[in-house]
Amino acid sequence: METTQTSIGHTLEIACDESGWEGSNLTAGNSDVIAHASVRLDINVASECIRALRGRSRQHSYEYKASHLLRTKSGSDLAGFLGPSGPVHGRAMVHLTHKSCFVLGRVLDLFIGGSADAASLGLRPDQRLANLAATLCRAGPDTFGREPWQAFLTATNVVLRADRHRRVRAPVDAFFGQVEALRALAGGRQVGRILDELRDGRREAYAARARLLEDRALQPVLEPLLPALARAVLHWSGGLHPVAVVHDEQSALTERRMRRLEQILAAPPLEMIRLPAQGRFIRFRQADSRTDPRVQVADVLAGVARKIVTDDLLGRSDPGLTALLRPYVDPASRWCEQLADPSGRTAG
């Protein structure tokens, strides 16, 4: 690993929080969206931001949440928060994860893609497979019907999830049973060809699941917060400046996983950060969002972003709010819909 003389004294500090994370069962939660927000704000600026939001909404409980901002009668408060003159504009980023698209991308990656996506923390996915996952995700419900599609997603989640019995063959066989059920409904559609390719990876699937069970603690394939946090670190650091992350309390982000994240980012084939001569590149601590106003701002931004993009998925989007959110959206978000970033590329 290459090192640089970057001083730990030049560490940047960012605050992060998420909205929509519900554990490793990604296909049966209350939300199909995770929004992970990172902000770089002075603590005094963040405190003033929360005070201003609280005052406008007349909300006096201990913690100010996105729901309070979303419930305000005046849409101008939300537009003011996100807009060019708002407190977080140019000082925040949001990484979006469409849970179904993420799960489909990971199963294609593990069973036919050589695990490039999982091994790189989502930073170097096979773009062809990512596009196939997005195509399958978009077409699935209408092509196959809601119940068959949900049964397939459930089996997909199970085959990627560790269980206490450490079973290899049974979850794989159940998954490919659902693949065959959908193939029978696909006809000559493009999604049928995607399922054909997936079916051909059955032999590799047993070996891939066995590997998954061996490395589940440090590199769980069903943990979208790790790639989201990796993207935040790279965005703010440029790969050169050490980063101190203050994150809302989150059981998925352990110290061991943070060390693994740093190692993967620094080592070949990624080599996306340069380790300092002394100390860590990523310093990580968790804080209750109620006690750190910067984390609370990140929490508000994540919640607002999740609501806006969820409405977009459900066909009830507000074009004005979607346009205000776009400058914040990480272009490497795991997204299957046509939510473009400001340069015109599609996030996902």
Structure tokens belonging to residue 348 = 């996902």
Output 2 or 316, whichever has higher pLDDT.
316
pLDDT at 339 over 60: no
pLDDT at 11 over 60: yes
Structure tokens belonging to residue 55 = 């005052």
Report how far residue 191's alpha carbon sits from residue 64's, in angstroms, rounded to the nearest whole number.
Answer: 44
pLDDT in tens, 237-276: 999 999 999 999 999 999 999 999 999 999 999 999 999 9
pTM across the whole model: 0.91
pLDDT at 22 over 60: yes
Report how far residue 282's alpha carbon sits from residue 244's, in angstroms, rounded to the nearest whole number.
Answer: 6
pLDDT band at 4 (very low <50, low <70, confident <90, very high): very low
pLDDT at 2 over 60: no
**Residue 270 near residue 264 (C-beta atoms within 8 A):** yes
Three-class HEC string of the chain? CCEECCCHHHCEEEEEEEECCCCCCCCCCCCCEEEEEEECCCHHHHHHHHHHHHHHHCCCCCCCCHHHHHCCCCHHHHHHHHCCCCCCCCCEEEEEEEHHHHHHHHHHHHHHCCCHHHHCCCCCCCHHHHHHHHHHHHHHHHHHCHHHHHHHHHHHHHHCCCCCCCCCHHHHHHHHHHHHHHHHHHCCCHHHHHHHHHHCCHHHHHHHHHHHHHCCCCCCCCCCHHHHHHHHHHHHHCCCCCEEEEEECCCCCCHHHHHHHHHHHHCCCCCCCCEECCCCCEEEEEECCCCCHHHHHHHHHHHHHHHHHHHHHCCCCCHHHHHHHHHHECCCCECCCCCECCCCCECC
Mean pLDDT of the chain: 89
Task: Look at residue 10 in the predicted model and tell me its pLDDT.
Answer: 63
**For residues 184-208, average pLDDT:** 93
pLDDT band at 169 (very low <50, low <70, confident <90, very high): very high
pLDDT in tens, 55-113: 765 555 568 889 888 877 556 789 999 999 999 999 999 999 999 999 999 999 999 99
**For residues 28-37, average pLDDT:** 93
**Residue 16 near residue 295 (C-beta atoms within 8 A):** yes
**Residue 272 near residue 234 (C-beta atoms within 8 A):** yes
Percent of the chain with pLDDT over 90: 74
